[in-house]
């Protein structure tokens, strides 16, 4: 028997970049959010006297050797579990490669989860997160799911109070963005700036303020829950829509943004235009985004919307301008785990 796993994607609702560290990495503060969009991983593992690994994919751009994060994860996981096995993995790619949506990192986390199920053995939670961080900075977040606060390289992860599920449009440009080059461009920009604000602290405070005492977060409680103007009853979906909109608007009011946009947009002007298309006309409530930004270093961009109709209008704007666009929803933690296994 094999195990099939939905390898979900992520966006960065906001991302602040600190100065380069002595190890060459940059300190980050970011708020990850998992999405319904996913790759599909099929893994079969049987204990054996020696380790054997076969990796295949429907996408020729996916490396099928030690360069692949899923391969690295298997090697490290087997060493940590102290077992040998014959393993075959197939990665059905549905997510963009080099798109800033964490696809490769999610594949690695999904393979670990599938491997544990196949072998009926698992690592303790802290060991799993430590191992994931060794494979890649974005891997640990996919062992938590939902809204996740990421610090340091992004690998120090903390479960964040989940944002309500909302509609999301992902714009997938044809070109990719090199993350190492984006960091080099950021360092060059930082050298020219006289003011050096502590962006890491600013964004951390913004996230913390979102869940401050009631009445201080910007979310105004409904004095008559379940009632609409005129006395009619709100539906459960209507209440959820209001909660999603209020929470996201509160997050936007904190000044959340992605620092990478300062260097990626000048290098790729078309991405700035795609963000405008996702935003729509802020003066018009209908069809405009609650928030839109680059995800990670790109090239994927996202917009979050009040309703499916608004999301479809944004998708049409982006596609009419010649860029592929996908509609999905954000995936809170409970749904992330209950829907992960594709039986």
For residue 288, the domain's CATH number is 3.30.70.890
Candidate from 114-118, 127-131, 145-149, 223-227 with smallest mean pLDDT: 223-227
Q: Are residues 134 and 180 in the same domain?
A: no
Q: Is 181 domain-assigned?
A: yes
Q: Is the pLDDT of residue 228 over 50?
A: no
Q: For residue 282, give every residue at least 6 positions away whose Cβ sits within 8 Å of its Cβ, in sequence order, or none.
A: 288
Give residue 220's pLDDT: 40
Q: Is the pLDDT of residue 235 over 70?
A: no
Residue 10 catalytic? yes
Which residue range forms the structural domain that includes residue 216? 167-333
Q: Are residues 133 and 177 in the same domain?
A: no
Q: Are residues 236 and 285 in the same domain?
A: yes
Q: Is 91 domain-assigned?
A: yes
Q: Are residues 220 and 256 in the same domain?
A: yes
Domain boundary among 144, 162, 180: 162
Q: Are residues 263 and 314 in the same domain?
A: yes
Candidate list 39, 72, 93, 138, residue with the active-site label: 138
Tell me how far apart the 2 most distant CA atoms of the chain are, in Å.
Answer: 72
Q: Is 338 domain-assigned?
A: no
Residues 98 and 178: their CA atoms lie apart, in Å, by 8
Give residue 241's pLDDT: 53
Residue 74 has which token pair? 């298997």
pLDDT category at 209 given cuts 50, 70, 90 is: low
Q: What angle do CA 87, 92, 97 make, to 5 degrees?
A: 115
Q: Are residues 117 and 139 in the same domain?
A: yes
Q: Is 340 domain-assigned?
A: no
Average pLDDT of span 106-126: 95
Average pLDDT of span 11-20: 89
Residue 65 catalytic? no
Give residue 190's pLDDT: 84
Residues 225 and 235: their CA atoms lie apart, in Å, by 10
Give residue 248's pLDDT: 65
**What is the domain-level CATH number for residue 118?**
3.30.230.10
Q: Is 343 domain-assigned?
A: no
Q: Considering only residues 299 and 243, tell me which one the structure prediction assigns the higher pLDDT.
A: 299
Q: Are residues 112 and 233 in the same domain?
A: no
pLDDT category at 221 given cuts 50, 70, 90 is: very low
Give residue 19's pLDDT: 82
Q: Are residues 130 and 205 in the same domain?
A: no
Q: Is 109 domain-assigned?
A: yes
Q: Are residues 171 and 79 in the same domain?
A: no
pLDDT category at 35 given cuts 50, 70, 90 is: very high
- Calculate the alpha carbon distances from 134 to 127, 156, 162, 176, 332 in Å: 11, 11, 26, 24, 25
Q: For residue 158, give every residue at least 6 positions away whose Cβ sits within 8 Å of its Cβ, in sequence order, or none.
A: 148, 149, 151
User: Do residues 102 and 141 lie in contact, with contact meaning Cβ atoms separated by under 8 Å?
Assistant: yes
Residues 70 and 91: their CA atoms lie apart, in Å, by 9
Give residue 22's pLDDT: 84
Our count of domains for the chain comes to 2
Q: Which helix (H) or strand (E) holds 167?
A: strand 167-172
User: Do residues 2 and 115 lie in contact, with contact meaning Cβ atoms separated by under 8 Å?
Assistant: no
pLDDT category at 239 given cuts 50, 70, 90 is: very low
Q: Are residues 30 and 122 in the same domain?
A: yes
Q: Is 53 domain-assigned?
A: yes
C-alpha neighbours within 13 Å on the C-beta side of residue 138: 27
Average pLDDT, rounded, for the chain: 86
Residues 267 and 273: their CA atoms lie apart, in Å, by 12
Give residue 231's pLDDT: 44
User: Do residues 29 and 156 lie in contact, with contact meaning Cβ atoms separated by under 8 Å?
Assistant: no
Q: Are residues 153 and 186 in the same domain?
A: no
Q: Are residues 222 and 326 in the same domain?
A: yes
């Amino acid at each position: 028997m094999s195990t099939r796993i939905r390898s979900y994607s992520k966006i960065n609702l906001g991302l602040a970049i600190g100065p380069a560290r002595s190890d060459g990495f940059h300190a980050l503060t970011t708020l990850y959010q998992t999405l319904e969009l996913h790759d599909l991983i099929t893994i079969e593992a049987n204990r054996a006297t020696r380790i054997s690994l076969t990796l295949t994919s429907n996408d020729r751009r996916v490396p099928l050797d030690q360069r692949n994060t899923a391969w690295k994860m298997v090697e490290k996981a087997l060493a940590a579990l102290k077992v040998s096995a014959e393993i075959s993995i197939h990665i059905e790619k549905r997510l963009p490669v080099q798109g800033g949506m964490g696809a490769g990192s999610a594949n690695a986390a999904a393979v670990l989860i599938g491997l544990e199920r196949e072998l009926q053995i698992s690592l303790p939670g802290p060991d799993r997160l430590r191992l994931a961080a060794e494979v890649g900075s974005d891997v640990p977040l996919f062992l938590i799911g939902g809204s996740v606060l990421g610090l340091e390289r992004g690998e120090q992860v903390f479960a964040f109070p989940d944002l309500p599920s909302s509609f999301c449009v992902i714009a997938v440009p044809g070109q990719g963005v090199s993350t190492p080059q984006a960091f080099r461009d950021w360092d060059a920009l930082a050298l020219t700036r006289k003011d050096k604000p502590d962006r890491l602290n600013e964004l951390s405070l913004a996230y913390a303020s979102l869940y401050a005492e009631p009445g201080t977060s910007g979310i105004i409680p409904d004095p008559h829950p379940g009632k609409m103007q005129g006395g009619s009853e709100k539906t459960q979906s209507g209440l959820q829509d209001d909660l999603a909109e209020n929470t996201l608007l509160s997050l936007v009011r904190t000044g959340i943004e992605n620092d990478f946009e300062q260097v990626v947009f000048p290098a790729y002007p078309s991405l700035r235009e795609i963000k405008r298309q996702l935003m729509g006309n802020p003066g018009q409530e209908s069809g405009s985004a609650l928030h839109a930004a680059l995800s990670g270093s790109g090239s994927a961009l996202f917009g979050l919307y009040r309703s499916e109709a608004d999301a479809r209008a944004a998708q049409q704007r982006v596609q009419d301008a010649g860029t592929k666009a996908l509609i999905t929803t954000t995936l809170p933690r409970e749904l992330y785990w209950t829907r992960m296994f594709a039986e």
